Amino acid sequence: MLAFALALAACSSPETLTRDGLINAGVPQPVARCMAGRMVDRLSLLQLRRLSALGKAKQSRDLEQLLHRVRSLNDPQILSVTTSSAALCAVGLGG
């Protein structure tokens, strides 16, 4: 069973993992889908992994709280990409 779970996880794309992480962090599914597409094009895999740790820590109440938590990573590029993606996707212009 563990081998199956590991094989399944290995098949997940960075975009899928990012989207799922955003949803787990409290971002609404349509916004998370839009944001993930933009973020994987603009951030490195290492930066995406740092972001994924936020989703594992606890769920945010809203995008504002998520962005506050993103600031704690002290990475200007992560903050810029996440903020611009959240803004564009929330108003329907990111897709």
pLDDT in tens, 29-80: 999 999 999 999 999 999 988 887 776 656 666 677 778 888 988 999 999 9
Overall pTM surpassing 0.85 (yes/no): no
Q: How many CB atoms lie within 10 A of CB 66?
A: 22
**Overall average pLDDT of the 17-31 stretch:** 85
Tell me the one-letter amino acid at 75: D
Domain map (residue ranges) of the chain: 14-90
Joined tokens for residue 57: 């820590």
Tell me the one-letter amino acid at 93: L
Do the beta carbons of residue 27 and residue 65 sit within 8 Å?
Answer: no
